[in-house]
Amino acid sequence: MHAPTPPPAPQSNASRHPATDVREPATLGVANGKTANGQTVSGGPRPSISAPSHTLILYTRPLHPELVQMKARKTVQLKGLGTGPSRITGAAEFEAWLTPLGHMLRYQTRTHCFCELVTDRDAGLPTSGVAFSVPAIGEKDHEQLFAEACVLYTTSLQTETLPPPIYQTTYREMLELADEVDALVHTWSLPSSPGGKEGRCLSMLELQRFDDEMHAQSTHMYPVGGLVLRTQTVFQRV
């Protein structure tokens, strides 16, 4: 006598219902951007409400402006000379572009161009001319000398996750600091809470110019998980 055949196992919800992307449309949300001279920029697509994952990339080539969603911009002319044996003459130009949850820095000499990109995009990025790339998570430091260009690039990054009360306090402190130092800053709210304190996001760039150096400090804040990403970058003529 044969044992009865067991009934087939019921299908799981996942097999009955195909997986779908439940993220909010990227075009939702309320945004405000302030340039260095106080101009306001609004509108445009927004990051999804899922926690972002960033990458820091250094390119030895120019990047097309359409690669990033610029919210604020500042250009600085540098007239210093290198201090090393080559003593390259001619001015250098530095340009900073602020984007939602990221930035791009361009350091242009007479013969060379360097671009630092911090982005939460994971596709569609240029692969040619990459000198350095690292996931922007935890604590990292990097220094790289480009002898032919007589340029020393130094960067450090740090991420942390803050509980909501500390996140909100840090958010307010960053806005106050941005006013004090005339930084580039862009703020917006997540689609789930337009105008609400819990959904406030911020990207900020503080720039400092010296004779042969350009310093840039960034802060990018995202309330999902209380994410705060900070970077410090120096381009130096040597």
Domain boundaries of the chain, sorted by first residue: 51-237
Low-confidence ranges of the chain (pLDDT < 50): 1-3, 7-48, 81-88
Separation CA 166–CA 188 (nearest Å): 18
Residue 228 confidence (pLDDT) = 97
**Which segments of the chain does DSSP mark as H helices, in order?**
13-16, 164-181
Q: Which residues contact 99 (CB under 8 A, 6 or more apart)?
A: 68, 69, 70, 71, 119, 186, 203
**Which segments of 40-102 does DSSP mark as H helices, in order?**
none
CA dihedral 225, 226, 227, 233 (to 10 degrees): -170
Separation CA 119–CA 116 (nearest Å): 10
Residue 80 confidence (pLDDT) = 57
* Whole-prediction pTM: 0.75
Cα-only R_g, the chain: 22
Residue 197 confidence (pLDDT) = 63
Q: Which amino acid is at 118?
A: V
Spatial contact of 94 and 106, defined as CB atoms under 8 Å apart: yes
Separation CA 98–CA 116 (nearest Å): 12
Give SS3 for 112: coil
Give SS3 for 171: helix
Residue 212 confidence (pLDDT) = 86
Residue 187 confidence (pLDDT) = 96
Separation CA 99–CA 33 (nearest Å): 9
Half-sphere exposure for 22 (CA within 13 Å, toward CB): 3
